[in-house]
Amino acid sequence: MEKDFSILIGGEAGQGTRLAGNLIANLFNKLGYFVYVYEDYQSLIRGGHNFSEIRVATEKREARKKEIDVLIALDKNTISLHQKRLKREGFLIFNADRIEQKKGIGLFADKIVKEEGGIPQMVNTVFISALVRCFGIPFEILENVLREKIKKGIDLNLKIAKRVYQSLESQTKVAEVRPLTSFLLLTGNEACALGMARAGLELYFAYPMTPSTSILNFLAQKEDELKVKTFQPESEIAAINMAIGSAFAGKRSAIGTSGGGFALMVEALSLACQTETPILIVESQRAGPSTGMPTYNLQADLNFVLGAGHGDIVKFVLQAGNAKDALFLGNLGLNLAWQYQTPVILLLDKDVSENTFSVDSKILKKLKIKKPKLFAGKNYQRYKITKDGISPLAFPGFDFIVKANSYEHDESGITTDNEIIAQKMQEKRKRKFEQMEKEVEKLGGIEVFGKKSAKVAIFPLGVCKGSAIELAKEFNFKVIFPWILQPFPEKSVKKELKGVKKIFTLEMNSTGQLANYLKKFGILAQSILKYTGRPFFVDELKEKFKKL
Amino acid sequence: MKYQTSAKITWCPGCSNFLILKAFQDVVFELEKEGQNKKEIVFLTGIGCHGKIFDYLNLNSFYALHGRAIATAQGIKLANPKLKVICFVGDGDCYSEGIEHLIFAAKRNSDIKVFVHDNRNFALTVSQFTATSPKGFKGSSTPKGSIEEPFNPLELVFSAGATFVARTFTGNFEHLKKMIKEAILHEGFAFLEILQPCITFFDQTSFFKERVYVLENQDLESKEKALEKIKEWDYKNDGKIPIGIFYKVKKPTFEKEFFKLSQF
């Protein structure tokens, strides 16, 4: 039987609801469910309102539902903001020390923690244990998760958990649905970091900017395990120029930022193009323009990223719709950068970056390091004119003299404004772009879901992919997700559009940037937009499509 | 000359940049004789008249963005700490648009060498004032004279934490060579300000010749003494201009510290 329910846990920043959400996700992961965690938090350190929404299902579900089955309230605000979303038969679990409320399961969490001699954040253990009991989940499973995830004060946490567990009655039964499988819980940023590491990433440079920062933090924490060095320089401009230097010297390098930081990097993006230096740029979008809403999502950097760079720019633009994509594309992106000696931009968004997804770990085994074209022979010329536009690589410090130049240059790298040489170099880079187009054809560049012969197709952007897939199932649509955006996978898209009568895009911006981009290729789509900073609810979309 | 490419030199005839080019080649030649592998030298340039040196030398090199050579250089050094990484930059380049990289490279004691061709104007764009142009400088963008006072780059870089601070003058070729070599041999961040008069737009050759004197018996590890001498000429006053090494201390380099904590 299909099971699909949502749990919302909310409180003030600093109360630890995010960690609690993560523990709940791990618990259901252990039980063999697919898990998707939406994180909603504000740009502040204490106070305010944070919540995690955990969707648990027997099928892969990567979207939010408006209706929730369990509401766990650490503060009063959580009840007033979210109670209207709770199903009539749903459970409300709340902190009776802080909230006066008749209905639901009230726990004197502060009191329990105090009596047991714990610290304030341990109230989360109280609620998780209550949830586990309500769902009839064996205590051992909770114990395993707590032991795995909590290192400090584990005994005390377990004592608190046990006390709560024993004091409550089971309300329902959640059966284990799959044997323990190989599914990992990863945020998009963690997945992206792992994907890059599997492509041989050696140096990662980043200046902190939400929502890309956790790539830097994750890689820094896993430095010795993943063998990737990280560095936080003085600015985004420094980050990209350093990464270009380290790639020039032969080390696989990547950088990460959000829209504002990317804007600062664009001059050097063009430098990477002109010097033909391989570099992967992860751009995780947040709500703009300008500083915008740092912890909320708008997919409104698409135009900017596609058009970024002065001069005739040769680059790849990829987009991820979930953590699995981020893993695969972080890997592919770095490999493509080296194969084509070009900048590659991997577009994420706040929800892909920071939400947690179930990822089949089998995909990790498929990730490889692809070797670039290296020079062998005598008389090295960095910008040798070749048929495919790709000049073999060599690095300074070894056998050859290597000259890389931001000016237009001749084959050896020396500055030129000679019209014949300049034209040849422009054409060389153009031929390289044509090779990249062929690569896109080879890769396909799209993922298709839903009914093959569908008359309606949806193109989702980033995290909207999860909602689109659910919609397609309900209405017999098909979903076309172009994970390569530039060069555009025109052939494979047009093949999929045969027989399609109506096309929609699903995007989180106010102008329909994806629909406008598709127009360039003669694809006319109606855009379904949301631009509140929060991703679509699947039920909200279903209502909308019923009316259409 | 050794290390020369076939590129045609396009500096103004008589430009003091020729002297820097010659001095650097002489030093590389000496270093090679002393055991330095020339293939392990990488130099970078910013954008401006100074940057043209990129085309004239057949050594590993990167023609970086205006103001960003010092950032790119640190990336190269991190990627391969075996390399000797040298930046030729301009006053209009690293004292304006890329000043953050200069300050931070000094702060972290990155083991790179920075040679500033300071001609006290943006020459390649046909003369505008820079951070070291004197107040009242009449350039193409300030026909009535610039209203800003210059800063003292040595004081700035010294305050940021540079472990080698020196100045030289193209009018004293032997000194220029000596300073270039000393800077390259310093382990850590080396900053060398080169007074390099622009003979076309702002010829201060005789101004410098009258005022420049070589520092002697400088206590290289004393911060107080260094600052005292650095401040003797602040790019504003009309006093004597000391050249030589003001400050030189040993400190762990950024790159050594960077890899020290890794367990792989």
Q: List, for residues B52-72, the tens digit of each pLDDT value.
A: 999 999 999 999 999 999 999
Taking the CA of residue A399 and the nearest CA in chain B, the distance in Å comes to 7
Q: Which residues of A touch B79 (CB under 8 A)?
A: 202-203, 245-251, 253
Taking the CA of residue B134 and the nearest CA in chain A, the distance in Å comes to 29
Please tell me whether the peptide bond between B134 and the residue prior to it is cis, using omega within 30 degrees of 0.
no
Q: Which residues of B touch A409 (CB under 8 A)?
A: 63
Residue B153 included in any domain: yes
Pair A334, A243: CB distance under 8 Å: no
Instruction: Tell whether A304 and A422 lie within a shared domain.
Output: no
Does the beta-carbon distance from A205 to B75 stay under 8 Å?
Answer: yes
Does the beta-carbon distance from B39 to A401 stay under 8 Å?
Answer: yes
- A439-459: per-residue pLDDT in tens? 999 999 999 999 999 999 999
Q: What is the domain-level CATH number for residue B129?
A: 3.40.50.970
Residue A172 included in any domain: no
Contacts for A406 with CB less than 8 Å, ≥ 6 apart: A271, A274, A275, B47, B63, B64, B65
- B88-119: per-residue pLDDT in tens? 999 999 999 999 999 999 999 999 999 999 99
User: Which of A227, A400, A403 is the closest to B61 by Cβ?
Assistant: A403
Instruction: Tell whether A469 and A537 lie within a shared domain.
Output: yes
Residue B7 included in any domain: no
Pair A462, A513: CB distance under 8 Å: no
User: Which of B68, B259, B264 is the closest to A224 by Cβ?
Assistant: B264
Taking the CA of residue A432 and the nearest CA in chain B, the distance in Å comes to 22
Q: Which domain holds residue A380?
A: 373-443
Smallest CA–CA distance from B37 into chain A, residue: A397
Q: Which residues of B touch A243 (CB under 8 A)?
A: 75
Residue B12 included in any domain: no
Pair A433, A314: CB distance under 8 Å: yes
| Cβ–Cβ pairs < 8 A, chains A and B | 140
Does the beta-carbon distance from B72 to A202 stay under 8 Å?
Answer: no
Give the closest residue to A478 by CA, choosing from A498, A453, A495, A441: A453
Cα–Cα dist A511/A531, whole Å: 9
DSSP string, A9-59: EEEEETS-HHHHHHHHHHHHHHTT-EEEEEEE--S-SSEEEEEEEEEEESS
Does the beta-carbon distance from B76 to A203 stay under 8 Å?
Answer: no
* Percentage of chain A lying above the pLDDT 70 cut: 99
DSSP string, B59-99: SEEEE--TTTHHHHHHHHHHH-TTSEEEEEEEHHIIIIITH
The whole-number average pLDDT for the span B13-42 is 98
Measured from the Cβ of residue B116, the count of other Cβ atoms closer than 10 Å reads 27
Cα–Cα dist A108/B110, whole Å: 56
Q: How many domains does chain A have?
A: 4
Q: Where are the alpha helices (H) located in A345-391, listed in sequence order?
A: 350-354, 362-366
Residue A433 included in any domain: yes
Extract the residue ranges of chain A whose pLDDT is less than 70: 1, 175-181
Q: Which residues of B touch A251 (CB under 8 A)?
A: 78-80
Q: Which residues of A touch B101 (CB under 8 A)?
A: 234, 238, 241
Smallest CA–CA distance from B64 into chain A, residue: A406
When scoring A403, A405, A417 by the number of chain B Cβ atoms within 10 A, the one with the most, hence best to mutate, is A403
Instruction: Tell whether A270 and A308 lie within a shared domain.
Output: yes
Task: Name the domain boundary from A420, A443, A466.
Answer: A443
Instruction: Spell out where A267-379 has E strands.
Output: 279-285, 316-319, 343-349, 356-360
Q: Which residues of B touch A400 (CB under 8 A)?
A: 39
Q: In degrees rounded to 5, what are phi and psi of residue A391?
A: -95, 130
Q: Which residues of B touch A405 (CB under 8 A)?
A: 54, 62-63
Instruction: Tell whether A452 and A496 lie within a shared domain.
Output: yes
Q: Which domain holds residue B179?
A: 17-259
Taking the CA of residue A43 and the nearest CA in chain B, the distance in Å comes to 27
Instruction: Tell whether A450 and A439 lie within a shared domain.
Output: no
Instruction: Tell whether A193 and A332 lie within a shared domain.
Output: yes
Task: Name the domain boundary from A167, A196, A215.
Answer: A167
| Complex ipTM tops 0.95 | yes
Does the beta-carbon distance from A405 to B101 stay under 8 Å?
Answer: no
Residue A301 included in any domain: yes
Give the closest residue to B66 by CA, choosing from A313, A247, A207, A271: A271
Residue A174 included in any domain: no
Cα–Cα dist B50/B54, whole Å: 9
Cα–Cα dist B54/A55, whole Å: 58
Q: Where are the alpha helices (H) located in chain B, listed in sequence order?
A: 17-33, 53-56, 69-79, 91-92, 99-107, 153-160, 173-185, 205-211, 223-230, 254-260
Residue A175 included in any domain: no
Instruction: Tell whether A324 and A430 lie within a shared domain.
Output: no
Smallest CA–CA distance from B5 into chain A, residue: A414
Q: Which residues of B touch A235 (CB under 8 A)?
A: 100
User: Strand, coil or helix: what is A72?
Assistant: strand
Give the closest residue to B47 by CA, choosing from B14, B13, B94: B94
Taking the CA of residue A376 and the nearest CA in chain B, the distance in Å comes to 17
Does the beta-carbon distance from B80 to A247 stay under 8 Å?
Answer: no
Cα–Cα dist B127/B139, whole Å: 5
Q: How many domains does chain B have?
A: 1
Does the beta-carbon distance from B101 to A238 stay under 8 Å?
Answer: yes
Does the beta-carbon distance from A250 to B259 stay under 8 Å?
Answer: no
What pLDDT is stored for residue A169 in this prediction? 84
User: Which of A224, A241, A414 is the closest to B263 by Cβ?
Assistant: A224
Cα–Cα dist A211/A283, whole Å: 9
Smallest CA–CA distance from A399 into chain B, residue: B39
Contacts for B47 with CB less than 8 Å, ≥ 6 apart: A406, B63, B64, B65, B66, B67, B90, B93, B124
Instruction: Tell whether A9 and A147 lie within a shared domain.
Output: yes
Instruction: Tell whether A324 and A402 lie within a shared domain.
Output: no
Task: Name the domain boundary from A340, A366, A392.
Answer: A366
Instruction: Tell whether A389 and A477 lie within a shared domain.
Output: no
Smallest CA–CA distance from B56 into chain A, residue: A414
Taking the CA of residue B105 and the nearest CA in chain A, the distance in Å comes to 10
Instruction: Tell whether A193 and A342 lie within a shared domain.
Output: yes
Smallest CA–CA distance from B58 into chain A, residue: A401
In whole numbers, what is the pLDDT of chain B averaged over residues?
Answer: 97
Taking the CA of residue B47 and the nearest CA in chain A, the distance in Å comes to 9
Q: Which residues of A touch B54 (CB under 8 A)?
A: 403, 405, 415
User: Which of B42, B72, B80 is the closest to A244 by Cβ?
Assistant: B72
Residue B11 included in any domain: no
Residue A173 included in any domain: no
Does the beta-carbon distance from A241 to B79 stay under 8 Å?
Answer: no
| Percent of chain A as helix, strand, coil, to the nearest 5 | 40, 25, 35
Instruction: Tell whether A82 and A153 lie within a shared domain.
Output: yes
What pLDDT is stored for residue A180 in this prediction? 57
Place of tokens 């089949």: A360
Residue A325 included in any domain: yes
Residue A419 included in any domain: yes
Taking the CA of residue A244 and the nearest CA in chain B, the distance in Å comes to 6
Q: Which residues of A touch B5 (CB under 8 A)?
A: 412, 414
Give the torsion sign (CA, A239, A244, A248, A250).
positive
Taking the CA of residue B43 and the nearest CA in chain A, the distance in Å comes to 10
Q: Which two tokens stand for residue A142?
A: 């909770």
Taking the CA of residue A235 and the nearest CA in chain B, the distance in Å comes to 8
Q: Which residues of A touch B77 (CB under 8 A)?
A: 245
Q: Which residues of A touch B160 (CB under 8 A)?
A: none
When scoring B42, B89, B124 by the number of chain A Cβ atoms within 10 A, the one with the most, hence best to mutate, is B42
